A and B are shown apart, each in its own frame.
Chain A
Amino acid sequence: DGGITQSPKYLFRKEGQNVTLSCEQNLNHDAMYWYRQDPGQGLRLIYYSQIVNDFQKGDIAEGYSVSREKKESFPLTVTSAQKNPTAFYLCASSIYDVNTGELFFGEGSRLTVL
């Protein structure tokens, strides 16, 4: 089945540690996105990529890093510089850009910093 796979589903991290969230898609989509979801704040864009080896900062990129070495993969690293990393992280993809079609989301990764 085509879709987006995020892993791990749940992750605990100690303060000061970096952690990488995986996102893989087999939809052959060009564009991929990372969103952060916090209660009462909706979905906020962290990073997005429209093509391999290129990505752009979203609205809240500080403390995060990404790579796009393959079309299918868009991992997100939450670094120790992120001051409040506990959140629900959602990866998404679309055909090219969001104005031409829908975003397909994964089931998310819940990160808790202890």
Chain B
Amino acid sequence: QQQVKQSPQSLIVQKGGIPIINCAYENTAFDYFPWYQQFPGKGPALLIAIRPDVSEKKEGRFTISFNKSAKQFSLHIMDSQPGDSATYFCAASFFGNEKLTFGTGTRLTIIP
């Protein structure tokens, strides 16, 4: 069964800290790994995505680290702000598969 396991379920970090959210996958055919950000009462929105030909991707304060041999990837948020408080979902897919498999989500709270 295709699964993506996400941890932690919730995370509280002080402003300026670096929250890290981890995901692990089982299917080695996965070749697309996006992260989605969801604010309360809204739909998720794509934050950043990576493919396995690189080990790291940065977009602003958000970085994905990817470890192909360990089948793990993680999201780091540099200089976190209260406005980053949201639920974050990792996901995975592979070419020819119409479906994204989502992790269970991490509720992140950044306290001032």
Contacts and interface: CB of A to CB of B under 8 A. Distances in A.
Q: Do chains A and B stick together as partners?
A: yes
Interface of A: 4, 31, 40-45, 48, 50, 56, 58, 90, 92, 97-99, 102-103, 105-108
Contacts of A99: 31-32, 93-97
B43 A105 contact: yes
Contacts of B32: 98-99
A42 B104 contact: yes
Contact of A108 (B6, B34, B41): B41
20 contacts: A31-B98, A40-B104, A42-B89, A42-B104, A43-B89, A43-B102, A43-B105, A45-B99, A48-B98, A48-B99, A56-B98, A90-B43, A90-B44, A98-B99, A99-B32, A99-B95, A102-B34, A103-B46, A103-B100, A107-B43
A90 B103 CA distance: 16
Interface string B24-51: 0000000110101000011111100100
A70 to B, nearest CB: 19
A41 B98 contact: no
A98 B93 contact: yes
Contacts of B100: 45, 98, 103
B103 A97 contact: no
Nearest to B98: A97
A107 B104 contact: no
Contacts of A50: 98
Contacts of A105: 43-45
A58 B36 CA distance: 20
Contacts of B31: 99
Contacts of B6: 42
A42 B102 contact: yes
A31 B94 CA distance: 16
B97 A97 contact: yes
B2 to A, nearest CB: 9
B55 interface: no
Nearest to A101: B46
